[in-house]
Structure 1
Amino acid sequence: MTEPTALPRRQDAPQQYTWDLTALYPTEDAFNQALQEFASLTKQFIADYTGQITDAASALKALPAYAQIQEMQDHLGTYAFLPQSTDLTNAHYRVLSVKAEDVLTQANTGLTFFISALSELSDAALDQIAAANADYAPLVRHVRRDKKIRLAPATEAALAQLEPTLDAFATIYGQTRSADMHFPDFTVAGKTYPLSFTMYEDLYVYSPDTKVRRAAFAAFSHVLAQYQNTVAANYYAQVMKEKRLATLRGFDSVVDYLVYDQEVPRSMFDRQIDLITNEFGPIMQKYVKHLQKERGLDQMTFADRLIDLDPDFAPSVSIDQSKDYISKAVAQLGQPYHDMIMHAYPERWVDFVGNQGKETGGFCAQPYRVHPYILMSWTHELADVYTL
């Protein structure tokens, strides 16, 4: 395990280990200009086509402009979201995100008429649209599928207008966790260790030193406990939102509602839960007991569950050293694929460095027709390579 150091401020993070957003927009001014252009295009589209989509021909006339708007919306939303995820304490990033959110919400509200109009078309007209251009076939598939859960146009517009509010619970949780929670240093055997949400999740949970690992867990849990009622209330609000929306759209359960957009059957979800509980669970119980024995632990606590069976088998890996691991892994998928993926390093697709205020965990944003953007916080553990 690498020697832990306090997380730097975002402005002090080495640039080569942060992502480069110029593939989306070369500058923030270019983003702001694109946001204005998007608002104008959307306004014009709404004026031109509201009440005009009555058959396949009128839909096909509108679809190129609609496709352009959707692509712009994807890029604008991604660009507005990514900086804030790197530092939730940065007021400028928050303003950028809110400004984009307002424009995108107004556009989404106005555009709901288009999908509602497509939903009213006959199956023959939808077939004609899908046959005219292969790029439109997925949209037609979704329109057909969503007919049974789509609400009246005015209701769909109202829900679109409310979307930022309905999504606020995730934002509140992220702000609480990454911006408001402050974790004090902790001491073991006279030595002081820095602590943060990311450092606990990505570093101390794997520490081979049992005293350090358990002390970090105790200090981490103490801070979490101070927010438990707020976070619980926020989570309850999210669950109730999902329940209300599931009922509103006619789903039998919240689970059916949540798996719907993933286009998998409920049976697949149930199978996964059953496999984890009935097949994987007993194996994990045996493994945890074996882990306790091999590592000579007096007891097996929640803080111990993720440590390595053999700590000497997990080398420390720097960001630069990860290139070799990734190169060898993706080489199995062929040279063209390998070469494409390895662009991630020089083109800075990945935000590696951990810093104060950064979102915990990791994710991969996939803007349309642009390379993906990956967020994580590198701690030199082999687990980081697995995540990448």
Structure 2
Amino acid sequence: MMKAMLKRQEVDTQLTWDTSLIFPTDADYQQALKDYAQAVGEFESNYKGKLNQADAIVAALTDFENLSILRDQLSHYAFLPLEVDRMNTESASLSNEFDLLMEDTLPRLAFLDIELGALEITFLEELISKQPQWKAYFQQLIDFKPHQLPPLQEELLASLATVWQQPYNAYNTTKFEDLTFESFEVNGQTYENSYVYFENDYELSHDQEIRRQSAKSFYRTLKTYQNTAATSLLAQMKNEQIQAKLRGFESTIDYLLFQQQVSRELFDRQIDVIMKELAPHMRRYVKLVAKAHGLKEITHADLKISMPSSFNQRITPEESKAFLLDCLSVLGSDYQKMIEQSFDERWIDFAQNEGKSTGGFCATLYSGPSYILLSWTGLMNEVLVLAHELGHAGHFQLAKKQSILSYEPSLYFIEAPSTANEVLTCNSLLKKNQDPDFQIYLISELISRTYFHNMVTHLLEAAFQREVYTRLDNNEYLNGDILCQIKLDVIKQFWGDEFAIGDEAGLIWMRQPHYYIGLYPYTYSAGLTIGTALAKQLEENPEQVVAKWLDTLSLGASLSAQELAQHAGVDVTTDQPLLETIAYVASLVDQLENLLA
């Protein structure tokens, strides 16, 4: 029987991240909350109603940068402990103190954007020329002008900022506090099940019975919460629709894409081209894997497995450090130092424990570490997740050269540095080990983790989102059953009629938090398109490309997503990079076929 998952207090501290790097103690955090509240009062008193002269605006934005840095520290200290232990009432209480502070202060700071947004465009453009460090911030104000509401309405919306977050809070409460999965039995052994066990281990298991029985247990539990989850998701989408209408956008999708500075053409292209052009190669790949495993039937529970291989061994976090330092060495010594620092200073939370968020993420503190969440299995899949999150860390550590008001680029570009790291890691290993069995193993891992996860899993989420938002804007009735049917139809469209996709696959929309972050899912494939092109350039001409790539990462939001890609040498205004990425995946499948022949 598999051991029950550890409680947070039972975990080895060396496998956890160190949030004392933000504030040494909870008392220091609580004092900083008071300091922030006082600073907001002073900011409001000093600048509200007075932002009509360049000197006052410069002073205000300088002070606002300091406020934003402090708020960033408070935010991370508030939410990171909950991400690893949602059952901890002390952490929940500390987080609640931050939430209450935001409810009070966000409306009081709304005047800054309102007053600056009301200024003449020529004046704002003059400010850009004289204060280029805030170019992205001023440009957003200019672009937003057609959608800005009267001051009182803007202040009201600002006061509702924490209310807009409630659907996501409800989703997390259901997922991490209410859901309890049934154990399952395989060959006389009983296995505990959970989000972490299933998504990080069982779903990828090469044992057919463990994989399929765990899926039955997992989806049987999800089914019982289907309508609650649907209520949360549809409330989130309705919130976005209300704001889109208030601000005069033609559709909710247009409103969400506006926030990313991305056209509808780029969004639709990413979905439509991949659904049509990538699908045949992924079907071919899955059939190769199924044949190698001796599967008579390919169910949805079998889609994410990789090739069987003796190389599929588990490694420790410390071993992964040396592994990634070597694979990502092409990015230079400073980048390697960042990787070493992330391990040595405990930026990374490797532990598996009850109440911990699933998947992986990187949350960078503008004035400090990049905190990385994992649930370490030691499999190659998890190593690539770590490479991915270190890509985010390297990106935002470099982007700190920009003002905190101008350092977060469009979501469209966010996943480029992370996915590039995954491809770089695998390409490095493929060059160093020509053993045919190893090549089969690693090519399979590259497809099943990097390309499957980013260009299939997340892309199918995007296709699902597009359909649901469209129906919502058409005033069609939606509920849990309809969401499941939409998801099932999207999955079947991609995989065709040759695979046994059961009805339970329709519940997959319940698994992902990305739906609560606007149109996030499609950006994974967009980022991987850029990342694949960059990995190829780095492999072919590292001496010239590395400096250009690192410089691109340091530009933050000072350029648009398309301009950042262009600066790195990738033209995403056409479909050529996307088609070349799909052709690269096709070539990987071709290599597998030849190696297995």
Q: TM-score with structure 2 length normalisation?
A: 0.63
Deviation beyond 4 Å, 4+ runs, structure 1: none
**How far has the Cα of 1:367 moved from its partner?**
1.8
Q: Deviations over 1:364-387 (max 9, x none)?
A: 112213221111111122111111
Do 1:55 and 1:125's aligned partners in 2 also have CA atoms closer than 8 Å? Answer: no
Match of 1:16 among 4, 14, 24: 14
Do 2:348 and 2:373's aligned partners in 1 also have CA atoms closer than 8 Å? Answer: yes
Report the AA paired with residue 68 of structure 2. Q
Q: Which residue of 2 aligns with 1:347?
A: 345
Q: Distance in 2 between matches of 1:77 and 1:148?
A: 31
Distance 1:162 1:299, change over 3 A: same
Q: Deviations over 1:26-46 (max 9, x none)?
A: 111111111100000101111
Q: Distance in 1 between matches of 2:340 and 2:256?
A: 34
Report the AA paired with residue 41 of structure 2. K
Report the AA paired with residue 206 of structure 2. P
Q: Which residue of 2 aligns with 1:133?
A: 131
Match of 1:361 among 359, 362, 379: 359
Q: Does 1:242 align with 2:208?
A: no
Map 1:115-130 to 2 at 5 A: 115-130=113-128
Q: Distance in 2 between matches of 1:261 and 1:42?
A: 26
**How far has the Cα of 1:58 moved from its partner?**
2.1
Q: Distance in 2 between matches of 1:175 and 1:311?
A: 39
Report the AA paired with residue 173 of structure 2. Q
**How far has the Cα of 1:180 moved from its partner?**
1.2
Distance 1:149 1:367, change over 3 A: farther
SS in 2 for 1:312: coil
Distance 1:387 1:6, change over 3 A: same
Report the AA paired with residue 55 of structure 2. A
Map 1:232-381 to 2 at 5 A: 232-381=230-379
Q: Distance in 1 between matches of 2:262 and 2:255?
A: 11
Q: Deviations over 1:158-210 (max 9, x none)?
A: 11211111111111111211121112321111111121111100000111110
Q: Distance in 2 between matches of 1:132 and 1:383?
A: 48
Q: Distance in 2 between matches of 1:138 and 1:147?
A: 14
Q: Does 1:160 align with 2:138?
A: no
Match of 1:92 among 63, 68, 90: 90
Do 1:9 and 1:356's aligned partners in 2 also have CA atoms closer than 8 Å? Answer: yes
SS in 1 for 2:336: helix
Report the AA paired with residue 143 of structure 2. R
Q: Which residue of 1 aligns with 2:74?
A: 76
Do 2:2 and 2:190's aligned partners in 1 also have CA atoms closer than 8 Å? Answer: no
Do 2:206 and 2:308's aligned partners in 1 also have CA atoms closer than 8 Å? Answer: no
Do 2:329 and 2:336's aligned partners in 1 also have CA atoms closer than 8 Å? Answer: yes
SS in 1 for 2:260: coil
Match of 1:229 among 227, 230, 249: 227
Do 1:73 and 1:104's aligned partners in 2 also have CA atoms closer than 8 Å? Answer: no
| Structure with the larger RCO, 1 or 2 (CA within 8 Å, 6+ apart) | 1
Count of residues in correspondence between the two structures = 386
Q: Deviations over 1:277-315 (max 9, x none)?
A: 011112112222222222111211111111112343422
Do 2:320 and 2:383's aligned partners in 1 also have CA atoms closer than 8 Å? Answer: yes
**How far has the Cα of 1:4 moved from its partner?**
4.8
Q: Distance in 2 between matches of 1:140 and 1:363?
A: 29
Percent identity of the aligned residues?
34
Q: Which residue of 1 aligns with 2:38?
A: 40
Q: Distance in 1 between matches of 2:327 and 2:185?
A: 39
Gaps of 5+ in 2: 387-597
Q: Distance in 2 between matches of 1:193 and 1:108?
A: 47
SS in 1 for 2:346: coil
Match of 1:147 among 142, 145, 148: 145
Q: TM-score with structure 1 length normalisation?
A: 0.95
Larger deviation, residues 337-346 vs 137-146: 137-146
Q: Distance in 1 between matches of 2:73 and 2:153?
A: 27
Larger deviation, residues 118-127 vs 71-80: 118-127
SS in 2 for 1:380: coil
**How far has the Cα of 1:82 moved from its partner?**
0.7
Q: Deviations over 1:249-269 (max 9, x none)?
A: 222222222222222222221
Distance 1:128 1:22, change over 3 A: farther
**How far has the Cα of 1:68 moved from its partner?**
1.0
Q: Deviations over 1:125-166 (max 9, x none)?
A: 323433443332222122112222222221122112111111
